[in-house]
């Protein structure tokens, strides 16, 4: 081994802690990148495989009733690959241990497997026996959430008839990976029961012998999906069908897509930030590290080593540190993405989800990190090799300090000599001070921007569920009903207030843009549902115009006073032209509101509703739900409290883990910057510090000079970091926007507090480690040797 | 006994010809004239001691002759090679092939053993002696695998001497080689320098504050204020072991 290589290894060992701190920064940048891309890759691979193996359909339609023979006409449509006619019926189901009844959907299993689309994947138990009509396979997530087990019996009321189901199997389905409950945009496992039974059993329960009321269609890849859907609509129209929906709008798929988009966004925003911040810091630290070694470079040159030969060991050192960090980051990223995949396995509901490693993400981030590390060293090495060896080897001339703006007058009296040493050093090296300050600010910025999401969720919850929607329960009716339905519900125990609501699925069209959505008809002067404007003021409902959510208006590129084409996608499918009257501010969904009488007039109906908003006394919930389960024609009930709880649960599960990682990573950056800055300051000033001790200053006073520099920079970094955090939060909010939820970007005092605390702890820890060196100074040897 | 002429004895061609050499440093405080016009010839195999107070220019001259620094004006010719106008690459090759250095603070690489510090040079030199031989010459055969921190100051400086002569340099530059050492160690180092320089036939230039050391030189050059003040030829040289201070 060449002597320079031996020196390289020994230097690496001598600098091990600093090298480790740098490697950690790089590792963080690489790990975040690998984690984000690997888990995304694992998820999309799993979903593709799931969809392919279960033959997930492309088009979905529901109708009132059609004979099975119609299937042949659907199959004959050019481009249709497979048609799966089904019967789907829903009712309420009481589950022991749960106050609120669940919504139970009964779905018929196909008679011939080769026809089947959206095949279920049996995870436990078996399929129903054809000779046992009450046997059913249940959605596994429902069983898991409710504690129901194979062998248990449950009952539900379908079309006024009570039927009992015996659970014999647990299955997952590509159609119900997520089951957003009606009235909410989030899955609610406990109250969303899906049961598959033999066709004969469901036919009998639903009174649909030889008929179907839902159909799933797969098309040949590459065919024009929209054109096929139009033909499907035309074929099904006489059978009371709504407009067929494409896979993109299927509830579970759409939710999953949004979830994927979110992962992609965080994968696109955070890793580059971490990587760039880490690389920038490494660059800075590396160049200061080499600055300290400039005498060695001078010495090598004096012996006749060329600039290049003298530079190589340092570049190798930097590259080794960079590579070490990259490898650590790759391993950490792989481990983290395994962990995240395990987490996803639990709540993504794929039958199979195995960890994956995104090699390209690793390679690119590793290359970038290592390159920037080496570049940092190169800058400093060039600075050293450019000097004459005589100059490089000479101890750097004492830095010229000048009396600054802080000197003279009052300041002399106010600032003690030690503090003055700190301030003069900071002002003497403004670029270095600034860069360290920026590094610290970056870590605080990332801390704030990763933690603010919780604040946003709270704002969303408060706005959506306590200010706009003020009901405690929303009951969905299986059919459109008159005022008597509301009256019946008002008489249930605990009901304090009740208001009918009419919602109609529609397609909005304007400026050549098409958006699916719904018209919500509310009673004028509604107490339980109040759309609000941007300032939080309640908007009165209009009879001659729509209150349109800002999000929908911006998608359709319309404003107040603009006309909007609205196609009703149920019943007679009429087309209406409505004017945008006001804009409402919502964080979730893209609602459009209208006064209910006006809405009913537009579709030529009387005083009808298909849902009821209720305010139920909280101490009477159990009685209320028990009574509700026996009310005919109730299709479902949504509870605000349960929705909010589910919301928090989902947020905790899907965000918390990643956010804890990001918190740790941001802390590691703060630690790394602070440790390196103070460690280098220690190397550069060890003689000053030793001299102070010789002169009789205490360890604490000497340590103050060393730590003070970092503390001042950290204080200066705070406003900068907070500003950056707010800007980054805004950017994240802009990138995250999706139909189900748009985040407001305010950062709460609590989050500021937590982030600043984490920031302070990370810096404090690093200072403790470095300052301990002051206590271990060997004064004689430090002062005897030239630095 | 005194010979104040600029030139060395004429029976041998000079290894260095120095004419009108000046060096000006520009600092924040203004210009510092380190050398104000130096003329000197040095012949092969000579041992020269440069004496003078701090800032008199002796170390600056040494650095320029050693190719560590550049002159502001004037000429320095080493065996026909003009060092003043030489490229960086030429100076690097000059230092690599022809020159050995010994510094006041040893400048050993702390992370390498004595042997490895010498090998740092033998790795790149054209026809070096073995690192082991160089260390044996300076009396450190039994300390080869010690790290600098495990050696006394005198031993460290002898490692530096071994490192400087291992390449068999034509010129050996010593900048305050005994400046950080006690008298006994200093004498050992000077002896080592004399022995090894004799072994490889190197010309030796020693910069020092210590007038006692002057008595081991062939010529003693006194500097003052950036100029050569006097040049003396020693008619009765002493051996290093005869010295003490």
Q: Are residues B109 and A306, on separate chains, in Cβ contact within 8 Å?
A: no
Cβ–Cβ contacts within 10 Å for residue A587, how many?
20
CB A262 within 8 A of CB A742: no
The model's pLDDT over B101-140, given as tens digits with 9 standing for 90+, comes to 888 888 787 778 899 889 888 888 888 899 999 999 888 9
Label residue A231 by pLDDT band (50, 70, 90): very high
- Which chain B residues contact residue A4 at CB under 8 A? 120, 123
Cβ–Cβ contacts within 10 Å for residue A289, how many?
26
Question: What are the phi and psi torsion angles at A221 (to 5°)?
Answer: -55, 140
* Cα gap A516→A248, rounded to integer Å: 11
CB A182 within 8 A of CB A105: no
Work out the minimum CA distance from B213 to partner chain A, whole angstroms. 24
Q: Which residue of B has its CA nearest to A785?
A: B105
Residues 392-411 of A with CB under 8 A from B: 393, 397, 400
| Mean pLDDT of all residues in A667-689 | 81
Q: Which of A743 and A139 is assigned the larger pLDDT?
A: A139
Question: Residue A513 pairs with which residues in a beta bridge?
Answer: A510
Establish, for the pair of chains A and B, how many residue pairs have beta carbons separated by less than 8 Å: 75
Closest CA to A241 of A276, A277, A217, A212: A212
* Cα gap A41→A762, rounded to integer Å: 33
Residue A281 has pLDDT above 80, yes or no: no
Instruction: Tell me which DSSP letter residue A395 carries.
Output: P
Q: Are residues B124 and A305, on separate chains, in Cβ contact within 8 Å?
A: yes
* Cα gap A741→A646, rounded to integer Å: 15
B214 CB contacts (<8 Å, ≥6 apart)? B49, B51, B208, B220, B232, B234
Q: Assess A149–B contact: CB distance below 8 Å, yes or no.
A: no
* Cα gap A120→A110, rounded to integer Å: 11
Q: Assess B32–A contact: CB distance below 8 Å, yes or no.
A: no
Percent of chain A, pLDDT > 70?
91
Q: Which residue of A has its CA nearest to B98?
A: A304
Q: And the tokens for B81?
A: 């090679």
CB A742 within 8 A of CB A588: yes
pLDDT of residue B233: 92
pLDDT of residue B3: 43
What strand order describes the sheet that includes B81-82?
B30-42, B16-27, B73-78, B81-82
pLDDT of residue B10: 44
Q: Are residues A302 and B66, on separate chains, in Cβ contact within 8 Å?
A: yes
Q: Is B173 helix (H, G, I), strand (E, B) or coil?
A: strand
* Cα gap A127→A196, rounded to integer Å: 9
- Which chain A residues contact residue B68 at CB under 8 A? 301-302, 388-390, 393
CB A291 within 8 A of CB A49: no
| Mean pLDDT of all residues in A90-116 | 85
Tell me the domains of chain A and their CATH numbers. 1-59+253-394 (no CATH), 60-252 (no CATH), 429-469+641-787 (no CATH), 495-616 (2.40.40)
Residue A567 has pLDDT above 70, yes or no: yes
* Average of per-residue pLDDT values in chain A: 84
pLDDT of residue B25: 86
Question: What are the phi and psi torsion angles at B164 (to 5°)?
Answer: -70, -35
CB A335 within 8 A of CB A362: no
pLDDT of residue A706: 86
* Cα gap A91→A634, rounded to integer Å: 7
Q: Is A113 exposed, middle or buried (0-12, 13-18, 19+ CB in 10 A)?
A: exposed
Cβ–Cβ contacts within 10 Å for residue A248, how many?
11
DSSP labels, A604-652: T--S-EEEEEEEE-GGGHHHHHHHHTTSTTEEEEEEHHHHHHHHHHHHI
Label residue A555 by pLDDT band (50, 70, 90): confident
Percent of chain B, pLDDT > 90?
36
Distance of CA B83 to the CA centre of its chain: 17
| Mean pLDDT of all residues in A209-225 | 92
A121 CB contacts (<8 Å, ≥6 apart)? A53, A54, A171, A172, A173, A351
Q: And the tokens for A312?
A: 């190589």
- Which chain B residues contact residue A7 at CB under 8 A? 109, 111-112, 116, 120
Q: Are residues B69 and A302, on separate chains, in Cβ contact within 8 Å?
A: no
Work out the minimum CA distance from A297 to partner chain B, whole angstroms. 11
| Mean pLDDT of all residues in A242-269 | 81
Of A3, A295, A300, which is closest to B119 when you measure between CB atoms? A3
Closest CA to A469 of A183, A102, A179: A183
Q: Are residues A11 and B68, on separate chains, in Cβ contact within 8 Å?
A: no
Residue A784 has pLDDT above 60, yes or no: no
| Mean pLDDT of all residues in A111-140 | 88
Residue B205 has pLDDT above 60, yes or no: yes
pLDDT of residue B244: 77
Q: Is B60 helix (H, G, I), strand (E, B) or coil?
A: helix
Handedness of CA B202, B207, B212, B218 (dihedral sign): positive
Q: What angle do CA A76, A82, A84 make, to 5 degrees?
A: 105
Residues 371-390 of A with CB under 8 A from B: 388-390
What strand order describes the sheet that includes A80-86?
A80-86, A211-219, A59-67, A245-246
Taking each helix axis from N to C end, the angle separating A657-694 and A307-348, rounded to the nearest 10 degrees, works out to 140
Percent of chain A, pLDDT > 90?
25
Residue A449 has pLDDT above 90, yes or no: no
Q: Which residue has the tokens 């409505």?
A: A578
Give buried/exposed letters for B208-225 (b at 16+ CB in 10 A, else e). bebeebbbbbbbbbbbee
Residue B11 has pLDDT above 60, yes or no: no
Q: And the tokens for A234?
A: 């035309």
| Mean pLDDT of all residues in A443-469 | 83
- Which chain A residues contact residue B182 at CB under 8 A? none
pLDDT of residue B4: 43
Q: Are residues A393 and B66, on separate chains, in Cβ contact within 8 Å?
A: no
Q: Is A482 helix (H, G, I), strand (E, B) or coil?
A: coil
Question: What are the phi and psi torsion angles at A460 (to 5°)?
Answer: -60, -45
Q: Is B164 helix (H, G, I), strand (E, B) or coil?
A: helix
Tell me the domains of chain B and their CATH numbers. 43-68+97-242 (3.40.50.300)
User: Does the predicted interface ipTM exceed a cut of 0.85?
Assistant: no
Q: What angle do CA A325, A329, A331 make, to 5 degrees?
A: 120
Q: Using CA atoms of A596, A600, A601, A606 in order, give the dihedral in degrees to the nearest 10.
A: -110
End-to-end CA distance of chain A: 29
Q: And the tokens for B234?
A: 């020693």
CB B46 within 8 A of CB B219: yes
Closest CA to A378 of A432, A319, A304, A435: A319
Taking each helix axis from N to C end, the angle separating A16-54 and A657-694, rounded to the nearest 10 degrees, works out to 180
pLDDT of residue B2: 40
Q: Assess A307–B contact: CB distance below 8 Å, yes or no.
A: yes
Of A135-139, A309-313, A352-356, A671-675, the one with minimum mean pLDDT is: A352-356
CB A591 within 8 A of CB A549: yes
Mutate to test the interface with B, among A11, A301, A303 (most CBs of B within 10 A): A303
Residue A598 has pLDDT above 70, yes or no: yes
Q: What share of chain A is helix, strand, coil (3-state, %, to 5)?
A: 55, 20, 25
Q: Are residues B103 and A3, on separate chains, in Cβ contact within 8 Å?
A: no
Q: Are residues B120 and A4, on separate chains, in Cβ contact within 8 Å?
A: yes
Give buried/exposed letters for A612-642 (b at 16+ CB in 10 A, else e). bbbbbeeeebeebbebbbebebbbbbbbbeb
* Cα gap B163→A36, rounded to integer Å: 53
Q: Assess A787–B contact: CB distance below 8 Å, yes or no.
A: no
Work out the minimum CA distance from A392 to partner chain B, whole angstroms. 9
Taking each helix axis from N to C end, the angle separating A640-651 and A430-462, rounded to the nearest 10 degrees, works out to 150
Work out the minimum CA distance from A306 to partner chain B, whole angstroms. 6
**Where would I find the H helices in B99-172?**
114-122, 131-137, 153-165
| Mean pLDDT of all residues in A533-554 | 87
Q: Are residues B66 and A305, on separate chains, in Cβ contact within 8 Å?
A: no
CB A351 within 8 A of CB A50: yes
Q: Is A245 helix (H, G, I), strand (E, B) or coil?
A: strand
pLDDT of residue B9: 46
Q: Are residues A304 and B93, on separate chains, in Cβ contact within 8 Å?
A: yes
Residues 114-153 of B with CB under 8 A from A: 116, 119-121, 123-125
| Mean pLDDT of all residues in A630-635 | 78
Q: Is A196 helix (H, G, I), strand (E, B) or coil?
A: strand
Q: And the tokens for A257?
A: 């897509």
| Mean pLDDT of all residues in A767-779 | 81
CB B71 within 8 A of CB B23: yes
Mutate to test the interface with B, among A1, A297, A390 (most CBs of B within 10 A): A390
Q: Assess B109–A contact: CB distance below 8 Å, yes or no.
A: yes
**HSE-CB for A760 with a 13 A CA cutoff:** 8
| Mean pLDDT of all residues in A670-683 | 82
Q: Are residues B89 and A786, on separate chains, in Cβ contact within 8 Å?
A: no
């Amino acid at each position: 081994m060449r002597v320079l290589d031996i020196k390289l290894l020994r230097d690496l060992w001598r600098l091990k802690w600093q090298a480790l701190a740098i490697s950690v920064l790089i590792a963080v940048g690489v790990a975040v990148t690998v984690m984000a891309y690997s888990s995304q890759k694992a998820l999309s691979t799993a979903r593709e495989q799931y969809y392919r193996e279960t033959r997930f359909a492309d088009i979905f339609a529901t109708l009132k009733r059609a004979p099975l023979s119609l299937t042949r006409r659907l199959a004959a449509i050019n481009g249709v690959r497979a048609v799966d006619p089904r019967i789907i019926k829903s009712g309420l189901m009481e589950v022991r241990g749960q106050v609120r009844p669940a919504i139970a959907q009964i779905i018929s299993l196909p008679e011939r497997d080769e026809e089947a689309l959206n095949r279920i994947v049996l995870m436990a138990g078996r399929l129903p026996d054809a000779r046992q009509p009450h046997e059913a396979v249940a959605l596994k997530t429902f069983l898991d959430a409710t504690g129901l087990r194979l062998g248990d019996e449950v009952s539900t009321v379908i079309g006024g008839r009570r039927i009992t189901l015996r659970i014999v199997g647990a299955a997952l389905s590509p159609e119900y990976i997520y089951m957003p409950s009606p009235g909410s945009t989030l899955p609610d496992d406990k109250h969303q029961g899906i049961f598959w039974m033999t066709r004969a059993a469901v036919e009998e329960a639903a009174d649909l012998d030889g008929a179907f009321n839902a159909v799933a269609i797969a098309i040949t890849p590459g065919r024009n999906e929209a054109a096929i859907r139009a033909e499907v609509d035309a074929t099904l129209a006489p059978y009371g069908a709504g407009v067929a929906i494409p896979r993109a709008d299927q509830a579970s798929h759409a939710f999953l897509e949004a979830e994927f988009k979110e992962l992609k966004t965080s994968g696109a925003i955070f890793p580059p930030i971490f990587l760039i911040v880490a690389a920038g810091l490494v660059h800075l630290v590396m160049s200061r590290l080499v600055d300290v070694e400039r005498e060695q470079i001078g010495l090598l040159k004096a012996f006749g080593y060329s600039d290049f030969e003298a530079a190589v060991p340092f570049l190798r050192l930097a590259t080794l540190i960079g590579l070490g960090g990259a490898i650590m980051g790759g391993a950490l990223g792989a481990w983290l993405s395994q962990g995240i995949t395990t987490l996803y396995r639990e709540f993504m509901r794929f039958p199979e989800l195995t960890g994956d490693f995104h090699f390209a993400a690793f390679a690119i981030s590793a290359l970038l990190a290592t390159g920037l590390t080496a570049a940092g060293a190169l800058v400093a090495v060039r600075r050293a090799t450019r000097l004459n060896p005589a100059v490089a080897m000479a101890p750097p001339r004492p830095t010229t300090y000048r009396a600054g703006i802080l000197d003279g007058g009052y300041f002399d009296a106010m600032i003690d000599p030690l503090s003055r040493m700190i301030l003069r050093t900071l002002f003497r090296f403004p670029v270095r001070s600034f860069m360290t300050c920026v590094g610290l600010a970056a870590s605080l910025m990332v801390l704030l921007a990763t933690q603010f999401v919780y604040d946003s969720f709270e704002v969303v919850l408060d706005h959506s569920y306590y200010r706009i929607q003020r009901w405690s329960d929303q009951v969905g009716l299986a059919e459109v009903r008159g005022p008597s339905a509301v009256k019946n519900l008002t008489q249930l125990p605990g009901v304090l207030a009740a208001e009918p609501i009419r919602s109609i699925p529609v397609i909005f069209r304007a400026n050549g843009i098409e958006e699916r959505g719904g018209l919500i008809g509310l009673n004028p002067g509604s107490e339980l549902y109040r759309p609000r404007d941007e300032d939080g003021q309640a908007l009165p409902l209009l009879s001659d115009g729509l209150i349109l959510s800002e999000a929908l208006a911006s998608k359709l590129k319309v404003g107040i006073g603009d006309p909007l084409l609205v196609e009703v996608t149920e019943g007679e499918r009429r087309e209406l032209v409505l004017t945008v009257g006001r804009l409402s501010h919502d964080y979730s969904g893209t609602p459009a509101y209208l006064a209910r009488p006006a809405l009913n007039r537009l579709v030529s109906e009387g005083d009808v509703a298909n849902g009821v908003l209720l305010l139920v006394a909280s101490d009477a919930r159990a009685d209320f739900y028990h009574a509700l389960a026996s009310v005919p024609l109730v299709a479902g009930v949504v509870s605000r409290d349960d929705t909010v709880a589910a919301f928090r649960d989902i947020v905790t599960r899907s965000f918390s883990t990643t956010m804890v990682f990001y918190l740790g990573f941001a802390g590691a950056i703060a630690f790394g910057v602070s440790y390196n800055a103070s460690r280098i300051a220690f190397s550069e000033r060890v003689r000053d510090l030793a001299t102070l001790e010789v002169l009789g200053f205490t360890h604490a006073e000497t340590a103050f000079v060393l730590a003070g520099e970092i503390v001042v920079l950290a204080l200066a970094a705070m406003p900068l970091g907070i500003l950056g955090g707010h800007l980054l939060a805004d950017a994240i909010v802009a990138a995250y926007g999706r139909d189900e939820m748009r985040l407001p970007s305010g950062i709460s005092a609590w989050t500021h507090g937590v982030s600043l605390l984490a920031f302070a702890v990370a810096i404090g820890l690093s200072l403790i480690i470095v300052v301990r060196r002051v206590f271990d100074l060997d004064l004689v040897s430090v002062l005897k040797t030239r630095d | 006994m005194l010979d104040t002429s600029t030139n060395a004895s004429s029976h041998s061609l000079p290894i260095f010809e120095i004419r009108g050499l000046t060096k000006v440093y520009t600092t924040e405080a203004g210009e510092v004239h380190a050398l104000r016009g130096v003329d000197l010839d040095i012949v092969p195999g000579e041992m020269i001691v440069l004496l003078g107070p701090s800032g008199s220019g002796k170390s600056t001259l040494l650095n320029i002759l050693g190719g560590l620094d550049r002159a502001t004006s004037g000429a320095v010719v080493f065996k026909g090679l003009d060092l003043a106008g030489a490229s960086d690459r030429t100076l690097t090759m000059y230092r690599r092939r022809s020159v050995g250095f010994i510094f006041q603070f040893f400048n050993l690489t702390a992370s390498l053993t004595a042997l490895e510090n010498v090998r740092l040079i033998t790795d790149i030199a054209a026809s070096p002696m073995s690192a082991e031989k160089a260390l044996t010459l300076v009396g450190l055969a039994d300390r080869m695998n010690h790290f600098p921190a495990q050696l006394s100051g005198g031993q460290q400086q002898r490692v530096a001497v071994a490192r400087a002569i291992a390449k068999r340099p034509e010129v050996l530059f010593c900048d305050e080689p005994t400046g950080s050492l006690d008298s006994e160690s200093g004498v050992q180092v000077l002896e080592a320098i004399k022995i090894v320089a004799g072994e490889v036939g190197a010309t030796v230039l020693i910069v020092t504050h210590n007038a006692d050391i002057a008595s081991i030189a062939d010529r003693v050059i006194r500097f003052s204020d950036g100029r050569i003040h006097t040049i003396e030829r020693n008619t009765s040289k002493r051996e290093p072991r005869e010295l003490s201070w």
